Each structure stands twice: as structure tokens, then as C-alpha cells.
Amino acid sequence: MGLSPLLEVRRLAIADVLEIVPKRFGDNRGYFCEVYNQERFAAESGTALRFSQINQSLSAEKATLRGLHFQAPPFAQTKLVWVVRGAVFDVAVDIRAGSPTYGKWASVLLSAESGNQILVPAGFAHGFLTLEPDTIVQYQVDNPYSPDHDRGIRWDDPEIAVAWPLAGAAPTLSKRDAVFPLLAEITTPFHSAGAGA
């Protein structure tokens, strides 16, 4: 007997990046939902991922920007990201050599209120900008953190030109994120399936 669909899957501007919306069941107390169910997720998203680690971050200030981060193989990570409190502008940048969308980005507004998620595949750099103070983000990954494989790309790379909703304000950044190289300055370790590499 098949499982009833308890989540909605939407393809974003880059088809490999998915927005996942778990169904909520509400009553006078609030709501209940399955944030993640392995079998349902595989059936609805068409992926056979096995997540191995859950991470959480708190960003105290509005306009805190984290990214653009990725891990190189063999510790490349697929991420399933959602917001526990607050809201973020979440971005995935295609860094797969030979991909028709190489250097392009897809985005979604994630919020605790909407309960939506973004699936960021391996081969994409990921980042987010907080839209509210004291925002808490959680995400699960299919490979553990590896400091030796941890990489990043400048958040304001003009070639990528992410339209961060900053309204002219300067974001709060870590020292590390502020000095990441541009996409043109790195040799990407990822290749699209059709690139023959």
C-alpha cells in the first residue's frame, strides 16, 4: 500500500533544486507535521538520499549572510534546509562544470511560518540571508563535515550576481565568508552528468 502524499515538491529556477513543503495538520492547539520521512521523501522527490547529520545555526542579527559554502568530493554534501524560527532568503548556485546552468542561481524564501524546505544537491554552493533577527536554521546533510574539503565562493561574486534582498545594507559576514574566492578563481570539483567528465 502506497503512502499518501504528505509533502509537495516544487522545482525551482534550476530544476535540480527543489522546494519541499510538508503538509501541516492544524487545530486549536497549533499544528503537527512530519518534517522529514525517509520513505515519503524518496517517493515524492524521486531521490534516494540517506542523511547522516543534522546541523543548526542561530543568526542573532537580521541581514546575517552565511555562504556561499560547499564541500568537495568525496565529502560533497546534499542539504535539506528549513527554518525553525524567523525567515531567510536561501540560495543555491550551480557549480557543476558543463552544466547548462553553471554559475546560475535559484532561490526560495524559507520561513518558520510556511514550514517549507529547500533541497540543495551536491554540486551546488549554498548560502542564506536572514530576514528577521534571531533566526534559527536547521539542515540535514548526507555527508559529515570535513574541514579539509570545506570550500566557498564569494557571496557578492558579480559573475553570479545573486540578488540578495539587502536594500543597500551591508550584510553581517564571518571573516572567512568575506574573503572567499570568486567562481572564476576556483577549479570546480563537480561535473554535470552530461559533461563527460
Are 77 and 105 within 8 A, CB to CB? no
3-state secondary structure of 173: coil
Q: Give ∠ CA 19-22-26 in degrees, rounded to 5.
A: 140
Residue 102 a catalytic site member? no
Catalytic status, residue 145: no
Query: Would you call 81 exposed, middle or buried from its count of C-beta atoms within 10 A (0-12, 13-18, 19+)?
Result: buried
Residue 87: C-alpha distances to residues 6, 28, 97 (Å):
23, 24, 31
Of 36, 102, 139, 149, which residue is the catalytic one? 139
In terms of DSSP bridges, do strands 96-97 and 190-191 run parallel, antiparallel, or are they unpaired? parallel
Q: Which one of the listed residues 31, 36, 69, 102 is annotated catalytic?
A: 69
Q: Which residues contact 95 (CB under 8 A, 6 or more apart)?
A: 70, 102, 103, 123, 124, 125, 153, 183, 188, 190
Q: Supply the residues annotated as catalytic.
A: 69, 139
